[in-house]
Amino acid sequence: MPRRLIPLLALLALLVVLAGALLVLRGRPELAGPAQPSTGAGGAWYEVYFTAPKYPDRPEDRHGGIDERFVAFLDSAQRSLDVAIYDFDLANAAEALARAAQRGVTVRMVIDSDTLANTRDAEIQAALRTVRAAGIPIVPDEREAIMHHKFVVKDGVEVWTGSWNFTVGDTYRLNNNAARLRSPELAANYAAEFRKMFESHQFGPSKPPGVPHPVVTINGARVETLFAPQDEVASHIAARLREARQSIRFLAFSFTHDGIAQALLDRAAAGVVVSGVFERTGSQTRFSEYGKLKEAGLEVYQDGNPYAMHHKVFIIDERTTLFGSFNFSDGADKSNDENLLIVDDPGFARLFLEEFDRMIAAAKNPPPRRGRTSRERPR
């Protein structure tokens, strides 16, 4: 082969590789900032998803998101779906629940009363009509505090949970996370929480404590399940933060809990690197911990999403992840129905660290405008 052809062939091979990479990435939504995947990544027992908001949000760009993964999850149900959700307006999710009921799957739903009574949003009422028309029973919490869960138990063997509400806004405007977890023990824990609400109509402080498997080991990962308010979740979070030796990173939609903030200040004083991103809305009020942590010299930022950052995440020492529906607030700890998982697994944590890096980058380079945020109010 002539020597002059060798560089040309090498260049052609490189172009082929780059073309293949572009085909894989093509069609993924972009963040208002660095690119962010909405496809799932994970291990043998989990898949983790992150939303990929585009700014401005346009209906023609609403494809390839968590909602499509969620619909596939619902469509795979064979026996049962127990759904506990705070906010709900996704037509494709409602249709998937209806399809499940029509093929003989037992589908049950618990929802926040404010959502059920929200007649201003036509999309919510349309989704609820689809569910009701399929004969799916819905139990509201019927109280002032909120039923803030965002989880589904499928067939008694899988759980879907995270910060993501089943809405268009949470999918295509807000930064959110969701995880699909394959574990009969975790499913039993979430099923027990669901039964307290759906069958016994026990919400908030009226719920008795206890789940079948408070701590489980899955493929070598230690996983702890906590529900609010019965499990005093904030004190568990503070205790785990105080165990940090090298680093604590966090993403917070609402962070007003003094005890959790004090745990961060104590670890920072002990030499632990603490950094985090606050949702901008409410972060400059006297209730937010943002000002206190910033004044103490911690590396904290306001988020860069023009809409809202809705995560509720701590990552400790690059191996422990705390995530779920639980905002870092007194209301979440003492009044709301909430869930939090503590996962000790470096591979799991790595996925959330990548999201944290994206949020930090976006916070340092925010777009100039902000649009409408979530229907959810920090509380």
Burial class (CB in 10 A: 0-12, 13-18, 19+), 146: buried
Query: Do you find a cis peptide bond into 137, omega within 30 degrees of 0?
Result: no
Mark whether 312 is an active-site residue: yes
Catalytic residue among 196, 312, 337, 344: 312
CATH topology for the 30-364 domain: Endonuclease; Chain A (3.30.870)
What pLDDT is stored for residue 29 in this prediction?
31
- Mean pLDDT throughout 259-277? 98
Q: How confident is the model at residue 113 (pLDDT cuts 50, 70, 90)?
A: very high
Which tens digit of pLDDT belongs to each residue from 286-305? 999 999 999 999 999 999 99
Cβ–Cβ under 8 Å, residues 241 and 248: yes
* Domain boundaries, given as residue ranges, for the chain: 30-364
Q: How confident is the model at residue 374 (pLDDT cuts 50, 70, 90)?
A: low
Catalytic residue among 196, 257, 310, 311: 310
What pLDDT is stored for residue 376 in this prediction?
74
Cβ–Cβ under 8 Å, residues 242 and 317: no
Catalytic residue among 61, 75, 317, 330: 317
Distance between first and last Cα of the chain: 71
Structure tokens at 196: 């307290």
Which tens digit of pLDDT belongs to each residue from 3-23? 444 344 444 443 433 333 333
Q: How confident is the model at residue 285 (pLDDT cuts 50, 70, 90)?
A: very high
Sheet holding 80-85: strands in order across?
41-42, 46-50, 177-182, 158-162, 150-154, 80-85, 106-111, 138-140
Strands 158-162 and 106-111, how do they pair? Answer: unpaired
Mark whether 201 is an active-site residue: no
d(CA 60, CA 131): 25
Between the alpha carbon of residue 203 and those of residues 119, 212, 263, 295, the distances in Å are: 23, 19, 29, 38
d(CA 302, CA 308): 10
Between the alpha carbon of residue 126 and those of residues 75, 131, 136, 373, the distances in Å are: 20, 9, 14, 21
What pLDDT is stored for residue 35 in this prediction?
36
Q: Which of 272-309 are b and which e, b meaning 16 or more Cβ less than 10 Å from the residue's Cβ? A: bebbbbbbbbbbeeeebbbebbeeeebebbbbbbbbbb
The CB density around residue 104, as the number of other CB atoms within 10 Å, is: 8
Mark whether 310 is an active-site residue: yes
Consecutive H or E run containing 215? strand 215-218
**β-strand partners of 275:** 249, 299
The 3-class secondary structure across 133-181, one letter per residue, is HCCCCEEECCCCCCECCEEEEECCCEEEEECCCECHHHHHCEECEEEEE
3-state secondary structure of 38: coil
Which tens digit of pLDDT belongs to each residue from 216-233? 999 999 999 999 999 999
3-state secondary structure of 274: strand
**β-strand partners of 217:** 222
Between the alpha carbon of residue 45 and those of residues 48, 317, 318, 371, 372, the distances in Å are: 10, 22, 19, 37, 36
d(CA 252, CA 238): 15
Which tens digit of pLDDT belongs to each residue from 66-112? 999 999 999 999 999 999 999 999 999 999 999 999 999 999 999 99
d(CA 55, CA 114): 28
Cβ–Cβ under 8 Å, residues 120 and 84: no
d(CA 254, CA 7): 55
d(CA 236, CA 314): 12
- Mean pLDDT throughout 328-357? 98
